Amino acid sequence: MSVFNNALAQLKKAIQYTSLKPSTLEFLKRPERQLQFSLPITMDDGAEKVFDGFRVQYTSARGPYKGGLRYHPQTNLDEVKALAFWMGIKCAVVNIPLGGGKGGITIDPKKLSQAELERLTRALARKLAPFIGPEQDILAPDVNTNPMMMAWIADEYSRVVGKKVPGVATGKPLEQGGSAGRTEATGQGGLYVLNELAKKLKLTPKKTRIVVQGFGNVGYNFAKLAYQAGYQIIALSDSKGGIYSKTGINMDPDNVMKDKKARGLIGGCYCIGSVCDCKNFTAVTNKQILELPTDILVLAALENQITTANVGRIKAKVVFEMANGPTTPEADEKLAKRKIIVVPDVLANAGGVTVSYFELVQNIQQYYWTEKEVNEKLKPIMVKAFNDIWNKAGELKVPLRVAAFVLAVDRIGKAIEARGKF
């Protein structure tokens, strides 16, 4: 199954609720530009190898293309096209003036040394140089790419164009023009959305149980901030399994992180320093954690976690998608039938791209904000995006995901039509 066909199916579903012209739909069904590169590099042992690189610039109707760069053995043009489309949707959901793009290299980065990865990333930046820039297309980290690589890209691009241009990539280290608050941004944005949802559902944090799957950048920061806001964290997990508070005792994610660092895994006991409680807490498998009784199930690990195989056993009242694509389209329909609310990825995790946009703005104006200022600007954007989508879902009587796509497609389509005839 083509991932891009899934994206097109979502587009078609959304467009029926808009008054956009058929020609606008035809335009939106295709990326504006697809780039494919051969990337020859010399390996550390002197061998010469050639890798395949891609960049899809899907829509620039609302602003320059924006999106991450993925290094993965399965990366291909079809996947990159879908991801570029979804980036356009996400930026339109939070109503920031950016379009959608995505790139990647078909590669297992674990098989390359740091020096080889640097040569490859710089080779890609040189090939991309005529097509990217703060006013054209802005790159960012994604699966297996990181702030260091963004610094390489900004540096190589700056050498090619002969001036310092940090705004060609976001998610950079602070010392190279990164933004304060970027590391926590996705979790922070998710918490602002959760707080709004709690108001609608009349949930009080103290009585709201949360299970979090995934304990990386997004899962850990989300869990930490939700705990600090008073929500009850009753289960946490990473790729090796998780911990569940059988009796509903709240867990401080910082204690779990310290224990994970000390022992290399999230164990079955809850330890505060060297004092461990193994009576009220138990180990859970990756399969079990998704099926625990809870108010909110936060998915912050990988795609395709709720499928037709386990959707019938989900007991959460709300599925909160902090990861990208954690629910398959078939499972999504079944959750809707069971009246389980799904807060879609394009809204829940959009705090990340929003602070990337702030990073671009700070780079362009050469004036940097404190973390407090960043969060003060992030909050109203997330709150408005949630309420726009909630109201649209109520008006059309559709799930939040459909409402998010309707709003986003309508915004992108109207921007296309506002330019006049093709």
Kindly indicate which of the ranges 70-78, 115-123, 294-302, 391-399 contains the residues binding ligand NAD, using the contact rule CB under 6 A. 294-302
Q: Which of 53, 77, 68 has its CA nearest to residue 2? A: 77
The distance from CA 255 to its chain's CA centroid, rounded to whole angstroms, is 25
Answer for which of 97, 216, 230, 248 binds ligand NAD (CB under 6 A) is 216
Pairing of strands 48-59, 100-106: antiparallel
Query: Around Cβ 19, how many Cβ atoms within 10 Å?
Result: 10
354 binds ligand NAD (CB under 6 A): no
Query: Around Cβ 37, how many Cβ atoms within 10 Å?
Result: 17
286 binds ligand NAD (CB under 6 A): yes
352 binds ligand NAD (CB under 6 A): yes
Single out the catalytic residue among 102, 172, 260, 392: 102
Annotation says 111 is catalytic: no
Cβ at position 403, least distance to ligand NAD in Å: 20
Whole-number Å distance between alpha carbons of 125 and 131: 10
Task: Please say which residue, 20 or 256, places its beta carbon nearer to ligand NAD.
Answer: 256
> Residue ranges of the alpha helices (H) in 170-273?
182-201, 217-228, 253-263
Cβ at position 304, least distance to ligand NAD in Å: 10
**Helix %, strand %, coil % of the chain (to 5):** 50, 20, 30
Cβ at position 286, least distance to ligand NAD in Å: 4
Whole-number Å distance between alpha carbons of 236 and 256: 8
Kindly indicate which of the ranges 25-33, 70-78, 91-99, 235-243 contains the residues binding ligand NAD, using the contact rule CB under 6 A. 235-243
Whole-number Å distance between alpha carbons of 66 and 48: 32
Kindly indicate which of the ranges 43-51, 234-242, 372-380, 382-390 contains the residues binding ligand NAD, using the contact rule CB under 6 A. 234-242
324 binds ligand NAD (CB under 6 A): yes
Q: Going residue by residue from 105 to 134, which x/- string records binding to ligand NAD, judged by CB under 6 A?
A: ------------------------------
92 binds ligand NAD (CB under 6 A): no
Q: Going residue by residue from 169 to 208, which x/- string records binding to ligand NAD, judged by CB under 6 A?
A: -----------------x----------------------
Whole-number Å distance between alpha carbons of 282 and 264: 17
Q: Going residue by residue from 236 to 255, which x/- string records binding to ligand NAD, judged by CB under 6 A?
A: -xxx----------------
Name every residue whose Cβ is closer than 8 Å to that of residue 303 and which is 6 or more positions away in sequence. 323, 324, 325, 326
Question: Could you tell me if 297 and 327 are in contact, meaning their C-beta atoms sit under 8 angstroms apart?
Answer: no
Tell me which residues touch ligand NAD (CB under 6 A): 186, 213-219, 237-239, 286, 300-302, 322-324, 349, 352
Question: Which are the catalytic amino acids?
Answer: 102
